Structure 1
Amino acid sequence: MKTEQLVHGDYVAAMFSHDFVEGGFDRGAVERIRCGVFEEWITAVARSGVFSDKEVAGVVEAWRREPKLLLDALLQDADEVTRRRYESTWESLDRAADPLDSAVVGSAPILV
């Protein structure tokens, strides 16, 4: 149960969300999380003493599989404007990483 809450953000939000949001918008953090560079959060969770090694390994596996879980947890207590700004940044990074994005492909003229 604790691992599921850790993965889905309850504990992560309690530990990090206030500082994350209060620190101001950080595009670099979004980029790092999206790329799977989240050692600072893994280290903090592991050193908290609240979670077993197995629980920490479970959250690391979940974040590596789906990095947006970490961002969602960090934004759990954020206001709507802040949340939208981070979500928009995440989406723009997705579009930049996928040049065949349907929105881009659909708007380009087809040459025959």
Structure 2
Amino acid sequence: MGTESPGIRDLLVGLFADDEVDATVLGHIRDGEIRSWVEAVDRSGLFGREVVAHLRQQWTEDPRALLDVLLGTADDLTRRRWLGEWGGGSAGERLIS
């Protein structure tokens, strides 16, 4: 399907580059509220149906993967802060990389 391509991840990071993570966003993602993010990916026209469906499934099963995309352009301190708020761990680069 090609979603493991670094190019896909880079496009997603770029798509959401202006979206900031805050406690509300973090809470919604943790609760599995990913619909608006999937819709944004779909409306962007950058990805085919197969990729959008894969992302929907991936983010539904592992919402942390969406957080990883949103933190794609964050500095190390910001990334550590929000991953710590999420619950820590070192899975930050496992998403579509």
Same fold per superposition (TM over 0.5): yes
More helix per residue: 1
- For this structure pair, what is the TM-score category when the shorter chain's length is used for normalisation? 0.7 to 0.9
Indicate conservation of the 8 Å contact 1:33/1:71, yes or no: yes
Q: Please list every run of 5 or more consecutive structure 2 residues that lacks an aligned counterpart in the other structure.
A: 89-97
Cα distance per residue 1:53-101 (max 9 Å; x no partner): 1211111001111111110111011001111111111018xxxxxxxxx
CA shift in 2, pair 1:34/1:5, >3 Å:
farther
Percent sequence identity is 38
Alignment of 1:84-103 (within 5 A): 84-91=80-87
When normalised by structure 2's length, the TM-score is 0.77
Indicate conservation of the 8 Å contact 2:19/2:70, yes or no: yes
- Please say if 1:61 is aligned against 2:61: no
When normalised by structure 1's length, the TM-score is 0.68
Count of residues in correspondence between the two structures: 87
Q: CA RMSD in A?
A: 2.1
- Alpha-carbon distance between aligned partners in 2 of 1:37 and 1:20, rounded to the nearest angstrom: 16
CA shift in 2, pair 1:5/1:60, >3 Å:
farther
